[in-house]
Structure 1
């Protein structure tokens, strides 16, 4: 069981590295230099943790990378915001809208 957990933590870390590096490549010039630098440092920290056997250190480094990598999306979508919605707020506000009495659960989406 402990070995399985270690493998899952390592796989998650590898996936976090891949996803973060891909986001940096895809974002290109839209990603501010300070965000890019911070994400690259976190990627290196995860790689360093992967060289060891401490599962908890890998998990911590991976979580820090996820938190830093979210800033890539925030930077990219923050710049695209005014262009993406030139018509302002839209959508139905009648009975089918957010106040339609349905059980709506809001949450955050996190790509793993």
Structure 2
């Protein structure tokens, strides 16, 4: 008897998700932006080709920024990117903390 095919359900398709070590710097930045009054809500999506952390100024709006993880771009432009509401890519790279710095600059301006 073949144990692998004993399930009546089709095999689950792999999805891309953020790991705990990736979420830590993202949530740290999110907390500081909430404290500064810039952001109010967030959403996380795990899809077939990408994972998205979206930040909102108010609930039920379009996201101000999307922090995306696309593993297929790891060897090209980098798997992490910060994208604006209009779709403009602000920063892209393989080091998540470096990519998030583009948003930390906005935190410095918000505090002043």
TMscore range, shorter length: 0.3 to 0.5
* TM-score, normalised via structure 2 length: 0.33
Larger Rg: 1
* TM-score, normalised via structure 1 length: 0.33
| Greater relative contact order structure (CA < 8 Å, 6+ sep) | 1
